[in-house]
Amino acid sequence: MTEHLKGPATTGEENWDIVIRPSKGNAPDLGLVWRYRNLIWMFFQRDFTTFYKQTILGPVWYIIQPSLTAMTYYVVFGKIANLSTDGLPPFLFYMSGTIIWSYFAACLTNNSEVFSKNANLFGKVYFPRLVVPLSVAMSGLVAFAIQFLLLLTVAFGIKIANPDLGLSYRFLFLTPLVLLYIAVLGIGAGLVVSALTVRFRDLVYAVGFMTQLWMYATPIVYPFSQIPERYLWFYYINPMTTPVQIFRWALFDVSTLPVTLCLANLAVTVAIMVCGLALFSRAEANAMDTV
């Protein structure tokens, strides 16, 4: 991280209005990041417009991808493996888990190569590097919003055909909190990986594989109520357990989680974010020399 020193400064015979020097400590200057909030918005617009710029279907892929994924899960885990869906229609169960996980995976994987993907930009222009991970989290919200509207449309359609389907309006209040939780976790985990990949480039190739394993260790394709008691300890340290189950509970009144598990997940998420910020701040000082 760096700090700005305003006012005249003399270096030899040259006078500078702003001097950029390495900051002290491992904490990022969040106040400086806030002053660059317009840049976050610019990066968000860039990501959204360029990602599907040369595609035929464009944002329609936001609907196609999770729909096909949910249908695949229905065939494999619902029909072949015959796993329970907590009494929910299979499409709603798998779709709700898929869109939550997709947002987290996007925050994690897209932030895991912040330094390497933006090396040319970082080497030419100074701005708080934390701006890029924040813009990535904002970009993921567009896909989530489109997929969430699809989920609500299908849910209300099924509700009309089957009045017994439980629908709750708690999601109006809880969904923003769930998204904030996932953004913090995804950014924090992504910062940890991006900082480590400055020295250990092999991690880049392991991120996708580890993310896939993490998904199967989270109640996405199976309900939390079916987890054997002897394995519950693992879900106390898996911070993605809480947002997935809370999201389904807020929408469909499925079984909720123990308060102790939610608090344990929250503590793990905060720890990951703190570690990510500290590692990222230390890595950015010499990242351009090693990437």
Kindly calculate the radius of gyration of the chain based on its CA atoms and give it in whole angstroms. 21
Nearest alpha-carbon partner for 131 in 42, 48, 3, 40: 40
Residue 84's pLDDT is what? 86
CA-based end-to-end distance of the chain: 17
Whole-number percent of the chain with pLDDT over 90 = 34
3-state class percentages of the chain: helix first, strand second, coil last, to nearest 5: 70, 5, 25
Position 2 in a domain: no
3-state class of 5 per DSSP?
strand
**Helices (H) then strands (E): counts for the chain:** 13, 2
Residue 13 has pLDDT above 70, yes or no: no
Residue 288 has pLDDT above 60, yes or no: no
Position 1 in a domain: no
Position 6 in a domain: no
**For the segment 100-157, what is each residue's pLDDT rounded down to a tens digit?**
999 999 999 888 877 777 767 776 777 777 888 888 888 889 889 999 999 999 998 8
Residue 5 has pLDDT above 50, yes or no: no
- Compare 240 and 86 and report the one with higher pLDDT: 240
Nearest alpha-carbon partner for 219 in 194, 247, 198: 247
Residue 19 has pLDDT above 60, yes or no: no
> Which residues, at least 6 apart from 25, have a Cβ–Cβ distance to it below 8 Å?
281
**Dist. CA 140–CA 176, nearest whole Å:** 14
Residue 257's pLDDT is what? 87
Position 18 in a domain: no
Residue 29's pLDDT is what? 65
Residue 280 has pLDDT above 50, yes or no: yes
| Chain centroid, CA 162 distance in Å | 34
- Compare 285 and 246 and report the one with higher pLDDT: 246
Position 207 in a domain: yes
- Compare 288 and 63 and report the one with higher pLDDT: 63
Residue 53's pLDDT is what? 65
**For the segment 25-79, what is each residue's pLDDT rounded down to a tens digit?**
556 667 777 787 788 888 887 777 776 666 666 677 788 888 899 999 999 998 8
Residue 28's pLDDT is what? 66
Position 37 in a domain: yes
Secondary structure letter of residue 221 according to DSSP: S
**For the segment 71-113, what is each residue's pLDDT rounded down to a tens digit?**
999 999 988 988 888 888 888 999 999 999 999 999 998 888 7
Whether residue 231 contacts residue 237, with contact meaning beta carbons closer than 8 Å, is answered with no
Nearest alpha-carbon partner for 240 in 257, 255, 254, 225: 257
**Dist. CA 192–CA 274, nearest whole Å:** 10
Among 19-23, 67-71, 227-231, name the one with the lowest average pLDDT.
19-23
Q: Which domain holds residue 141?
A: 25-290
Position 13 in a domain: no
**Dist. CA 41–CA 27, nearest whole Å:** 23
Give the model's confidence band at 233: pLDDT under 50 very low, under 70 low, under 90 confident, else very high.
Answer: very high
Whole-number percent of the chain with pLDDT over 70 = 82
The total number of structural domains in the chain stands at 1
Secondary structure letter of residue 190 according to DSSP: H
Residue 14 has pLDDT above 70, yes or no: no
Region 253-274 average pLDDT: 92
Residue 281's pLDDT is what? 80
